Structure 1
């Protein structure tokens, strides 16, 4: 990304920005730094005889490049000269590079580092806090162990002021934060409610911070797990709230990364993914982009009797909840240009209308007729991709019981209201709520109900009181809450 004119160094300032490739006629300035052929700093200081190896953890802190965790000196930390990130020639002055070896009774390894007020190091033996009285310098540096939380060798992420990291073993996620009452960093397990999800073990976490703070974890089996986390600090105690969910995908995800877009002003998730994955290989790798779901959009059909106003489709606004979806054009029931989905079952929309699921053959699909007498073939803006189902299930709802606890009793919702915002109809305990509103003409589709809508369901049957909400179509579904009349059989 670069400016198309002189002195352009910021989006929306000066000339327009454009993407272009730059051919390097010579090797980049950091080549010798990364590839240590005849590099004095690497050979003599870091790489050195004895096979100490390259640093495996890096972070920028107090205008220095901090390198650490060489295989041969696992608790060694190297700081560059202030403002000169390739200069590691040790010296006595405050701005000179420095080296510090953290002494411990065992032989742990630094796994990650995060720069906050102090430098926090996650190791295989616990978290350490590293700093100085003023700033870290050759004559002013110290490190103290804070807790015994063991870390996995993968990058940690910071959410607000808390450091989120994976525990050694990959089956727990911890939050490291400063606890004033103890004057130390404390590490808390925030995955207690997700043990069934983390049995598959996770190896990486990335954060999407704008517009909402969401963490995405990559599991060893190539699946994704999401969670939200918030820590509210009070005068007497901290209150942590978090929620976990499973993300279903038809492919095997190999790696993930997050990226902030200067165009949309939002974070996006990027995935390296294989379909029909085989450990024996060979596999085809795809780079996929998962943008944050659009929260604001306009309804395509606006009824102002007797005039009907047509706006942009949901597809044109990017509001399509399909994996690997692509926008195109349906011409006489045929949608082409789907070579990347060959042999796979896909779902298709035309002008926001649901047309069904199909198998891609030869890079195209042929849509079924609408089965409406006298109707025309499908022609219009299409969206084709991999269909998935969004699922939300509440915990068992337990009401009071005069004879004791309510567990084991038969319970049901006499009337249940599910409140949604700018959403299509959800499936509630296996049934759709009423799907028409009186003020809409019968020949006008209602793909999305704009605004707040309370969907009423009656007599949902005897059970444990839990509610299952599903969305099996590629339309928005934002559930805000539920309420109603509940009955328990206490006999």
Structure 2
């Protein structure tokens, strides 16, 4: 019988796929787990009970879908925009902005519940710009906490030769010529009305040519088209006449762009139904130019490029990086780079990269990588430049945890502070976390459930850190409710949908719990540590009075280790019976936990029974666990109390 001592010093492999349980040869086997539920691996190596969530309020209408959009004006001023039922409401510093007590400030938006998942956005200064295939690009602009506007972008796209002008009555275009037009050149366009042929008369220097057609049922009218700028490459024209006309815009009903990004002082738009693989860049320069898409030969003129692709899939996303603009469609990934390092109409070029494709979830820029969801909705990839290969690669971050994303991801956000977590929402309502620190090769997955279903997620900077907000749908007293909650790193609740209460005098009755009516809640108070009560009439009654309480929904943290893999003579220990003589948990600021269902004693001798337990840091040695094959140690914590696991030591005997 061989005896050995094993230690798992880190949990940075996170939860691995059931398909990987036999891969004891993998480098990360000794730092991975079979189950990591409601626990967060952190980049130092250990793992802890995930923070609970803090309750902020119900959305405007819980029967409609919710989209959460960050608006970050500065490090000290950030807002969460809550899109729901044709309205946008705003959260600042954890509270819904109100115009008067109980009356939330809100503005309208045009998107239906089914359309919110195709909404794209990018921020520039004090504005967030939005695109959607069914609507004109829009601008969300803030001048004060209760002063917001959401309007169509006023594009400047001056008339160029070979571009159509039209209105309900007439359609015409100026045809480019080898002879240069000059400023002051004029066309007079005359329509006889009733759909008769329109005529065009040119006056000015150069040879003028125009195609014009009157539309059926149109009245008689006359337009004057005057050249207001001309050089060897382009002309710009103004239009006046008996009716108000405009150029047949590139972005119009049935042909709006799907993707948006800002890069090198330009607004980029891409992916219209008519030109799904074309992107357009605005003139560069001041913020007054980002809506001017006039093309031309000058370095600061607008840019237009079309992908050279074997498929015609629409561009869905564009992600800026330090060296290029990553362009992503359902089938391929490209980069737009420049021969000079600066994008101009002459130097911008597009190069194909990888062929994984993406889905509708907006990618995240994390360090030098763009994290995106592959088109199957399940694989998570990180696109970054590979110096050795001279191109971008897109590593699969779910290769050892392919199960973790379930049937697909519908939303995600990145919380840099304090734990470098990517939060992902699955279709089935699970919340998934990825502890991701690329420079330290940290990729650790975990799953998180709650009494309900996670629906949306977004992160904004608050309180010198990052706050991640989630929309959670909960069944409350027979009615489905959608709540806005935040992952609570500040008040440090360890229950979900939590509220806090304080009273100068200890009391047993606590109210304000209507959002959890009929739910069993768990309470942490002065003298109650994990007491459970059912909310009735919006209140609970404690057995022992308390001055301060945290009341929320319970959840269980579960960390199940992989089968021990001690090194023994004669080959592997797999398939043999193991005896674990002794287990030592190395913990930090921990109050309670269970190992294989048996509680671990943390209370000190002489500690008063009516006082809150004192968190323990150090080693906790447990009794013999017994023989078994397979043997998977399960560590659980079902109380809303601190729990941090740093390492597990096992003394193991292997039966020959």
Q: TM-score, normalised by structure 2?
A: 0.61
Q: Is 1:62 equivalent to 2:229 in the alignment?
A: no
1:328, distance to aligned residue in structure 2 (A): 1.5
1:441, distance to aligned residue in structure 2 (A): 4.2
Q: Is 1:141 equivalent to 2:348 in the alignment?
A: yes
Take 1:487 and 1:173, find their aligned partners in 2: how far apart are those partners?
A: 40
Q: 1:9 to 1:100 in 2, by over 3 A?
A: closer
Take 1:103 and 1:287, find their aligned partners in 2: how far apart are those partners?
A: 43
What per-residue deviation string (whole Å, max 9, x for no partner) do you get for residues 94-151 of structure 1?
1122221112222122222211111111222221111112211111110100121221
Take 1:224 and 1:417, find their aligned partners in 2: how far apart are those partners?
A: 31
Q: 1:70 to 1:154 in 2, by over 3 A?
A: farther
1:446, distance to aligned residue in structure 2 (A): 5.2
SS at the partner of 2:310?
Answer: coil
2:385 corresponds, among 157, 178, 182, to 178
Q: Is the 8 A contact 1:108 1:124 kept in 2?
A: yes
SS at the partner of 1:46?
Answer: coil
SS at the partner of 1:340?
Answer: helix
Counterpart for residue 470 of structure 2: 271
Q: Is 1:468 equivalent to 2:634 in the alignment?
A: yes
Counterpart for residue 412 of structure 2: 205
The 5 Å alignment of 1:31-180 reads 34=138, 36=152, 41=157, 44-48=248-252, 51-52=254-255, 54-82=256-284, 83=286, 84-116=289-321, 117-134=323-340, 135-180=342-387
Take 1:178 and 1:383, find their aligned partners in 2: how far apart are those partners?
A: 47
Q: 1:44 to 1:289 in 2, by over 3 A?
A: farther
What per-residue deviation string (whole Å, max 9, x for no partner) do you get for residues 36-88 of structure 1?
59966597443247x22x22211111111111122332211111122332222
Q: 1:270 to 1:89 in 2, by over 3 A?
A: same
Take 1:437 and 1:24, find their aligned partners in 2: how far apart are those partners?
A: 53
1:383 corresponds, among 543, 550, 555, to 550
SS at the partner of 1:321?
Answer: coil
Counterpart for residue 407 of structure 1: 574
Take 1:164 and 1:277, find their aligned partners in 2: how far apart are those partners?
A: 35
What per-residue deviation string (whole Å, max 9, x for no partner) do you get for residues 17-48 of structure 1?
999768999x9998996255996659744324
Take 1:46 and 1:349, find their aligned partners in 2: how far apart are those partners?
A: 60
Counterpart for residue 297 of structure 1: none
More displaced 10-residue stretch of structure 1: 138-147 or 327-336: 327-336
Q: 1:437 to 1:282 in 2, by over 3 A?
A: closer
Take 1:164 and 1:378, find their aligned partners in 2: how far apart are those partners?
A: 49
Q: Is the 8 A contact 2:530 2:640 kept in 1?
A: no
1:396 corresponds, among 548, 553, 563, to 563
Q: Is 1:286 equivalent to 2:491 in the alignment?
A: no
SS at the partner of 1:271?
Answer: strand
Take 1:335 and 1:176, find their aligned partners in 2: how far apart are those partners?
A: 50
Q: 1:107 to 1:137 in 2, by over 3 A?
A: same
SS at the partner of 1:198?
Answer: coil
1:341, distance to aligned residue in structure 2 (A): 0.7
1:351 corresponds, among 515, 526, 529, to 526
2:492 corresponds, among 319, 332, 347, to 319
Q: Is 1:246 equivalent to 2:452 in the alignment?
A: no
1:240, distance to aligned residue in structure 2 (A): 4.2
1:212, distance to aligned residue in structure 2 (A): 1.8
Q: 1:355 to 1:177 in 2, by over 3 A?
A: closer
What per-residue deviation string (whole Å, max 9, x for no partner) do you get for residues 386-441 of structure 1?
01111111111122344442112222321211111122122122222233334x54
Take 1:342 and 1:242, find their aligned partners in 2: how far apart are those partners?
A: 39
Q: Is the 8 A contact 2:565 2:574 kept in 1?
A: yes
Q: Is the 8 A contact 2:420 2:437 kept in 1?
A: no
Counterpart for residue 5 of structure 1: none
SS at the partner of 1:436?
Answer: coil
What per-residue deviation string (whole Å, max 9, x for no partner) do you get for residues 295-352 of structure 1?
xxxxxxxxxxxxxxxxxxxxxxx23201111111476422211011111111112216
Take 1:67 and 1:282, find their aligned partners in 2: how far apart are those partners?
A: 41
Take 1:447 and 1:90, find their aligned partners in 2: how far apart are those partners?
A: 70
1:91, distance to aligned residue in structure 2 (A): 2.7
Q: Is 1:337 equivalent to 2:536 in the alignment?
A: no
User: What root-mean-square deviation, in Å, do the aligned CA atoms of Structure 1 and Structure 2 show?
Assistant: 3.2
2:588 corresponds, among 421, 430, 447, to 421
Counterpart for residue 133 of structure 2: none
What per-residue deviation string (whole Å, max 9, x for no partner) do you get for residues 439-475 of structure 1?
x54457352425x311111102223343211111111
What per-residue deviation string (whole Å, max 9, x for no partner) do you get for residues 254-296 of structure 1?
21111111x2x11121112211299xx984321111133x5xx
Take 1:202 and 1:358, find their aligned partners in 2: how far apart are those partners?
A: 35
Counterpart for residue 422 of structure 2: 215
1:353, distance to aligned residue in structure 2 (A): 2.6
What per-residue deviation string (whole Å, max 9, x for no partner) do you get for residues 207-265 of structure 1?
11012211111111222111123334xxxxxx84422111011122221111111x2x1
Gaps of 5+ in 1: 1-7, 233-238, 295-317, 370-376
Q: Is the 8 A contact 2:137 2:257 kept in 1?
A: no
